[in-house]
Each structure stands twice: as structure tokens, then as C-alpha cells.
Structure 1
Amino acid sequence: MAIHKLRGLEYLVAVVDQGGFNAAARHLGVSAPSVHRLVQALEAELGTPLIDRSAQPLKPAAHALAYIERARSLLDELRELDASLRDQSHAPRGKIVVAAHSVVLQFVLADALPRFHARYPEVHVELTDAGSSRDLARLGADAMLQFGWPPEQDAILRTLAETRWLVVATPAYWARHGTPAHPSALAGYPCALFKTPFGEVIRRWSFERGGERVEVGVDGWLVSDSRPALDAPLYSGQLAARINDLTLHPGLANGTLQPVLLDWHGLNAPPLSLLLRRSLARQPRVRAWVDFLVETTDRLTAHRLPAGLPPVPASVRPDWWRKRVQPSPRRGAAVDPR
């Protein structure tokens, strides 16, 4: 197969993943005319359009879906072949592109990255903020970390850690409003409200204890889809919040935040999830990254606060996720059960 055709296939897949010729060119680091030219040459050779140019963002022509997915698999296999030759008989080296949401960057990766570099000095990590995206291919990343449930896509999915919802506020807040003895009491407390990636504000918190399940409506003056935006009103004693425990260690350890309702289990806490590109999963640098993440999250979960609580059960996708997330047209994610 000629080199120009392989390049044309690479550009074609990038156009589909990025949703346009200009975006594909920026992602690939080449000029937009060169992307246009090679994709058009490929279409001319095949005698049929491969891109639906009437759609915004651009998408594959209906009859070309299978062709483009086969091209994607072929390119992934070639990259894996190249990488295996470079990595063979060597310590982990090369670059890994990691997308992560801001809360993961702040509370999971920030302190861990220096240890990773000290252990694997020849692996270069390129970090990018995933923003609201949950699509590995569109981000152009080799791996993605998020708190939550990634939509199905052509990737390996691994749950690194389960989390626990904790209802927290400052001691002064609880002294002012009273410590709730039952979840239903939260209906009268000013609380911070989270907005999902789909724009839905979570105004009902669900709890379970023994055979009793309680769902309580909460309200407050602040709604945000950004965890850091909640910290100032939370730590200043203006609001209570429901936050996953792996991001609360400093505030709990120094007593700035006080959890309540610890005999109740908050439902639908988001797991810490890892997505990996299939074609890179066996590469030494990627295996080193995954092993390090497992070690890092094991450290976090081993020092959960408050201490002495029951083990965290496996999470269940909430109703809002099941209603909003549709399966990808690509193959479903392979689940790594480890």
C-alpha cells in the first residue's frame, strides 16, 4: 500500500474524529489544504464520497462507516507495530497523551506526577484538560481519566477506584444550621448543586441505610459543573455539599470540613475511570502508566477519611446517565475487570 494512501486514511479518520478538515489539520499539525487534497484523492481513487459534507460537524457518509472503522483499526495496528519495534528490549520510553478532567488533575495527578517521572524518566507525559468531552478519539489522547461513567467507545475501560459520597460543610456551618440526624433534614439547608455534563442540575440526593432508601430534594444559591468553583463557598461556611471522598482528604484531615450522616450510604457516587486506546494497551510506557495509576489510587483509597467506614460498594449508573448517554456507533468499550 502506497505511503500517500496510508496518509490519506490517517487524514480521513482525523476528519471524522475531529468533525472537520480544519480541526483535523490542527490536530495533526499539518495544513488544511493537504488534508483536503489527500482525502479528495482517496475519494477519487475509490470513486465515492467518504465524508458527508452537508453535516455539521462533518461525519462519515453512511455507506463509508464500515470502511472508515476498518481504516481506523488498520492505522492502530500499524502504530502498535511501530511502537513495539521502538519499545522492544528497552525500558518504558516515549510519549503518552493523557486527557483528564480538572478535578482529577487537581486531586489525583498533581502530587503523583513527580513520582512517575522519577521512576520512568524516559516517558514524557502530555496532559490535557478534557473539559466536557468524554470521547478519547476526539481528544486525540492515549488515555483518559475521569470521575464518572464514560460513554461506550472503542477503548478499554478500567475502574481504578470506587468513591463514596460525603455530605460535608465547615463545623461553623453545622453549628449555625444544626447537624442533620436524617437525610430528609437537608431539604432546609443551603447546599451547593452540581450540574452534569449534559446540563442537568442534580437537585435530589439519594441515600440508603439497611433496607431504607431516602431521596431528598436540596437547593442552594450556587450551581456549578466545576468542583473548584464550589470550594470557596464550601470552605467559607456558606454552603454544604455532596462530594466524593477521594477529593476531600486535606479538608477532612485538618478538620476544616466535617462530614455528617455517616451511617447512610449516598447512592450513585462516580467511580474513578480510566479509558485506554486498544492499540497502545500493551506498550511498555502505557503499562507503566497504568500500573502507576493503580498504585496511586490504591494509596488514596487506603487512606480514606473518615476511617472505619464500611467498604465502598460498586457504583451504579444513575438514571440521568442512562437516559442521556447513547451507545457509540463504534464497538463498545472492552472492560478490564482488574
Structure 2
Amino acid sequence: MDQLSAVRAFIRVVETGSFTKAADSLELPRNTVTKLVQALEAHLQVKLLNRTTRRVALTSEGAAYQERMSRILEQWQEAEADLTSARRRPRGRLRVDMGSMIATQLVIPALPAFHERYPELQLDIGASDRPIDLINDRVDCAVRAGNLTDPSLVVRPLGDLPFVLCATPQYLRKHGTPELPADLEVGHTLVRYVYAGSGRKSPIVLNADAQQITVQGHYLVSVNDGNAALAAGLAGLGILHTLRLVAQPHIDAGTLVPLLTAWPTDSVPISIIYAPNRHLSARLRVFVDWMVQLFEALPEEQRATRPIHAPRT
């Protein structure tokens, strides 16, 4: 038995819902597809499909086998593609997940140049601050903030992004401009960011020389999405603690004013992560390299200076 052909025939029967449609799409006689699936079941010594005159349905064993073999077949096809012209001209679909602010403020505005370079590469971007399971959600890679220590993933550092405290001129006229970190605790409100997975508030830590101060403060609104936090800050609902790259266009336009610049806040490391497959597809490789270049091209005030190391596995 040609096991690879048998697996392809089985998966195509599942995808199309019939032996006839599977045979047409594979350009094989229907009888050949039937024999391939039967040979596969005999080899595995398990029934994969329940057949009637009207429909084909997976058995529980067939469903588990189909899910795993679909991934293997996809990796095999990627390996073949890399040995052809696709290595020089990557094509196909790439599933990416990243936080909403990174997506809308940095990545998506730069995508026209990416697609001009790789016109046959299709990106499915999940732009959300909610955590996902990289493996179970079948995502090729994800952009994540923080110090990542999961040994089951490859971690490619992209760079460190600084935060800034800022507020609208209207808010400052009404509440005054804070001069010291302690001023944030009295007479001011903050826009607080809450992590979607845990509900924990993102800390606001200010630094100067050897001093480090964590600000608690009072808030009128908390949100679990970075773009929502920016909208709240622009609406004058409080002092905003956000990434410098997000705030900079509004600072340049005069709609936000940076505060307590002598007390810088901590930067956050940003990394791109993916499963440690032995074979890294061409489309994932070019996207990871492009993301590294995108971060390296950020203006100095929008990124913290720290060496970018090789991937950690």
C-alpha cells in the first residue's frame, strides 16, 4: 500500500464528504479511492469511516486520526514547497496572532510593503489581547509581550518597547499637570489596562536613579484591550499608560501630552513565538524576518535599546 496516497485519499473523502467528489478532486477512479481507504483501515486495523448510500461519517477513531494526519500532510506539503520555487517566492496561508495595538498601530500599516514583496502570501491575523493556545488553535506564530520562558516554544526577541504616561490638554487644564509620581495618587484618574486572561491590572512602575515607584491610583474606567485604552485616554477619561509607538502620533499632533518624563516607566520585551518544528516553512521564515526588520526600523524614541539575540528554544 502507498500509505501517503491512502492518507491523502482518506482526508479528501472527509473534506468533500463523499468518495465520488474525492475521486474527482484527486483525478482518480472512484474505485481506486475506495481501495486506498480500505487498505488504510486494514493497515491500521480500525474503522475510520461509517458509510451509507447517502453519506460518509467519521468514526471517533477516524476523527482523531484525521486531525493528526491533516497536520502531518500539511507539513509534508510545506517541505516539498520549500524545495521548489516557493522557497524563493513563498505562497499560501499564514496564521498569526498578536495584541490589538501591535496589530493596528505597527503591523497592519506596514503590510502593503510586505505584500508587495510577497504577493502570494495570505495572512490570517488574530488581533486580540486575549491569550490563545498556539498549538490547539493551530496558529503558526504569535507576537507576545513580556518575558517568555515556555521551553516548548521557539522565542525570537524582536525588541523592547518603552511606555509613556500622557494625557489630553483638556484633562490637564481641568486636573492640573502632575509633577511627581505621588501626584498621580491624589486628584487624578488613570486609564487602567487589565489583562484579558487573568483580570490582573497592568502595573505602572516609574524609575529614577535607584528609585522605583509603583503607582496604584484611582480609575474611572479599566479595559482589557490596548486600542480601547487609547480611546479612553483620548476621550479625557484619565492619564494613559501606553506604548510610546502608540502615543507618538498623538503627541506629535498635540492631542496627548507626555508626563513625568524624568520618571520613565519600564519597557516591555516583545517576541515572536512558534512551535519548534524541525521544518520551518518558507512563509513563516520570511514573516519572522520581516517582523525583526520592522522593529529595527522603529524610531529611537519608540524602542528601547537592547541587543536582539538569536532565537531561544
Provide TM-score, normalisation by structure 2: 0.71
- Decide which of 166, 176, 184 is 1:178's aligned counterpart: 176
Give the secondary structure class of the aligned counterpart of 1:207.
strand
What residue number does 1:328 align with? none
Give the secondary structure class of the aligned counterpart of 2:283.
helix
Deviations 1:72-95 (A, max 9, x none): 997786455334334566422232
Distance 1:216 1:178 in 2: 18
**Structure 1 segment 74-93 matched on structure 2, within 5 A:** 78=76, 80-87=78-85, 90-93=88-91
Give the secondary structure class of the aligned counterpart of 2:220.
coil
Q: Is the 8 A contact 1:97 1:127 kept in 2?
A: yes
Counterpart of 1:143 in structure 2: which amino acid? Answer: C
Give the secondary structure class of the aligned counterpart of 1:215.
strand
- Residue 165 of structure 1 deviates from its aligned partner by 1.7
Distance 2:9 2:183 in 1: 62
Counterpart of 1:296 in structure 2: which amino acid? Answer: L
Q: Which has the larger radius of gyration?
A: 2
Task: Note if 1:336 corresponds to 2:293.
Answer: no
Distance 1:176 1:128 in 2: 39
**Structure 1 segment 276-315 matched on structure 2, within 5 A:** 276-279=274-277, 282-302=280-300, 304=302, 311-312=304-305
What residue number does 1:227 align with? 226
Q: Is the 8 A contact 1:8 1:39 kept in 2?
A: no
Q: 1:40 to 1:214 in 2, by over 3 A?
A: closer
What residue number does 2:255 align with? 256
Deviations 1:226-261 (A, max 9, x none): 122223331122311111212222112212111111
What residue number does 2:35 align with? none
Distance 1:313 1:263 in 2: 20
Give the secondary structure class of the aligned counterpart of 2:83.
helix
- Residue 224 of structure 1 deviates from its aligned partner by 0.9
What residue number does 2:110 align with? 112
- Residue 100 of structure 1 deviates from its aligned partner by 2.0
Note the residue ranges of structure 1 that are not aligned, 5 or more in a row: 10-30, 43-67, 306-310, 315-333
Counterpart of 1:2 in structure 2: which amino acid? Answer: Q
Counterpart of 2:60 in structure 1: which amino acid? Answer: H
What residue number does 1:205 align with? 204
Q: Is the 8 A contact 1:234 1:240 kept in 2?
A: yes
Counterpart of 2:237 in structure 1: which amino acid? Answer: Q
What residue number does 2:237 align with? 238
Counterpart of 2:58 in structure 1: which amino acid? Answer: S
Q: Is the 8 A contact 1:134 1:150 kept in 2?
A: no
Give the secondary structure class of the aligned counterpart of 2:199.
coil
Task: Note if 1:145 corresponds to 2:143.
Answer: yes
What residue number does 2:60 align with? 36
- Residue 155 of structure 1 deviates from its aligned partner by 2.7
Distance 1:280 1:91 in 2: 21
Give the secondary structure class of the aligned counterpart of 1:135.
coil
Q: How many residues align?
A: 264
Deviations 1:235-288 (A, max 9, x none): 122311111212222112212111111122313x43222112333874332222
Q: Is the 8 A contact 2:208 2:262 kept in 1?
A: yes
Give the secondary structure class of the aligned counterpart of 1:248.
helix
What residue number does 2:273 align with? 275
Moved more, 196-205 or 138-147: 196-205
Q: Is the 8 A contact 1:156 1:335 kept in 2?
A: no
- Residue 202 of structure 1 deviates from its aligned partner by 2.1
Q: Is the 8 A contact 1:161 1:301 kept in 2?
A: no
- What is the RMSD computed on CA atoms of the aligned residues? 3.5
- Residue 163 of structure 1 deviates from its aligned partner by 1.2
Note the residue ranges of structure 2 that are not aligned, 5 or more in a row: 12-54
What residue number does 1:160 align with? 158
Moved more, 236-245 or 278-287: 278-287
